[in-house]
Amino acid sequence: MLKNGNRVLVTGSGVISPIGNDTELFWKNLTAGVSGAAPITRFDATGLETHFACEVKGFTTEGIIDRKDAKRMDRFVQYAVAASHEAIRKAGLDLDTENLERVGVILGSGIGGMETFEAQHRTMLERGPGRVSPFFIPMMISDMAAGQVSIQFGLKGPNFCTVSACASGAHAIGEALRLLRAGDADVILAGGTEATITPMALSGFGNARTLSTRNDDPQRASRPFDQDRDGFVIGEGAGVVVLETEDHARRRGAPLLCELNGYGASADAFHMTAPSTDGDGAARAMRRALEDASLAADDVQYINAHGTSTPTGDPIEVAAVKRVFGEHARKLMMSSTKSMTGHLLGAAGGLEAVVTALILARGIVPPTINLDKKDPQCDLDFVPNQARTQSVKAALSNSFGFGGHNVTLALTAVS
């Protein structure tokens, strides 16, 4: 036992994303700098200001979820079950031999079943309240991703949902770390899931002036830290990691991606949607994660940036990094993979934890694409446009959400 409790290792990953519906295809496209942005196909977006998004493509539940069960799941739940299925397989977990009371599920979702909500609202208006589905509530509520994953795989350990806007997935992983350290479980599936590419979501974010309107060039619209950025590109999907106590993982000979050893969380206490202008909340989350991981600032070589491509948010994150790392900030690599995936909202922290774990395991740093003209306020090494082959021993992953929620995860190579 360490001072914080059990060591926790990442042993598997599952991905549903705009650039690939399994970890290997996702990683191939991510390191190649492939954008998932394209005109929206799921509904007619011509009346909206933004006509494009990073949709998941070619997704199917066949062979993973029973057809009847799938019909009773919102898309965000289907994504979570599919990503969990892959994560379990890649971790080599044999659920027939595990004590399932010691296997938990913690999945974040910022919004939950918005697609179901909109569809059932239309039904009520057009056909009356008597035609609203009895499955409306259990399909919509945000906790049902964690609930359905536990049901589908028989996992009886700690089970809940974290809801903190775009920090939801990272909060889920951080809270899983705490439970594993405390000995409350041996294994936890943790991460985030979201499916909110809907007319209402695009209308709300668009009217708040947070979305890019680069309709003539969607693949170049998400451009974190670039001087010509004009907002984020909404994405969808799920990212799930299998977390295990070191003793459990080594006893069963699990594949080891990296160690999860730090979790920092803070609040801006500033504004509903805007981050604190001095970056104080983000800086405190990063400092706390470093402290929790027993890492010095100089130990960190890479940061997966929150980096949403908004005019306000990107320079504030850069300022926060400079506050924490001082001169070492200029030696860091710091990329925003949202330049390729778009912003998965509550799933972002889960997917980006997968990215960070793979960087540590594979020694390749994905780029920030579309970085053609760096904002003078954003003057760090953002790994522009081309992936970089470089060994990384310690990394952070940042996630910040509306409401002033800040989360930083610290991960290190397995020693």
Nearest to 194 by CA among 237, 163, 140: 237
Average pLDDT over residues 401-408: 94
Q: Is the pLDDT of residue 1 over 90?
A: no
What is the Cα gyration radius of the chain?
20
Q: Is the pLDDT of residue 299 over 80?
A: yes
Which amino acid makes up residue 208? A
Average pLDDT over residues 216-226: 98
Give yes or no for a contact between 39 and 216, defined as CB atoms under 8 angstroms apart. no
- Predicted structure pTM score: 0.97
Kindly indicate the confidence band of residue 2, based on its pLDDT and cuts at 50, 70 and 90. low
CB atoms within 10 A of CB 109: 34
Q: Is the pLDDT of residue 58 over 80?
A: yes
Structure tokens at 119: 């569809």
Task: Name, in order, each residue with C-beta under 8 angstroms of 128's C-beta and a sequence gap of 6 or more.
Answer: none
The CATH code of domain 263-413 reads: 3.40.47.10
pLDDT tens across 87-134, in order? Answer: 999 999 999 999 999 999 999 999 999 999 999 999 999 999 999 999
Query: What's residue 277's pLDDT?
Result: 86
Q: At what angle do helices 75-91 and 144-153 cross, to 10 degrees?
A: 50
Kindly indicate the confidence band of residue 276, based on its pLDDT and cuts at 50, 70 and 90. confident
Residue span(s) of the chain under CATH 3.40.47.10 come to 10-252, 263-413
The CATH code of domain 10-252 reads: 3.40.47.10
**What's the per-residue H, E or C state across the chain?**
CECCECCEEEEEEEEEECCECCHHHHHHHHHCCCCCCEECCCCCCCCCCCCEEECCCCCCCCCCCCHHHHHCCCHHHHHHHHHHHHHHHHHCCCCCCCCHHHEEEEEECCCCCHHHHHHHHHHHHHHCHHHCCCCHHHHHCCCHHHHHHHHHHCCCCCEEEECECECHHHHHHHHHHHHHHHCCCCEEEEEEEECCCCHHHHHHHHHCCCECCCCCCHHHCCCCCECCCCCECEECEEEEEEEEEHHHHHHCCCCCCEEEEEEEEEECCCCCCCCCCCCHHHHHHHHHHHHHHCCCHHHCCEEECCCCCCCCHHHHHHHHHHHHHHHHHHHCEEECCHHHHCECHHHHHHHHHHHHHHHHHHCEECCECCCCCECCCCCCECCECCCEECCCCEEEEEEEECCCEEEEEEEECCC
Query: What's residue 272's pLDDT?
Result: 86
Query: What's residue 230's pLDDT?
Result: 97
Structure tokens at 379: 């003057």
Query: What's residue 274's pLDDT?
Result: 82
Distance CA 382, CA 348 (A): 18
Q: Would you call 378 a catalytic residue per the annotation? A: no
Which amino acid makes up residue 278? D
pLDDT tens across 161-217, in order? Answer: 999 999 999 999 999 999 999 999 999 999 999 999 999 999 999 999 999 999 999
Query: What's residue 3's pLDDT?
Result: 57
Average pLDDT over residues 307-332: 97
Residue with more model confidence, 272 or 254: 254
Please tell me which residue in 54, 161, 166, 258 is annotated as part of the active site. Answer: 166
Structure tokens at 32: 């190649």
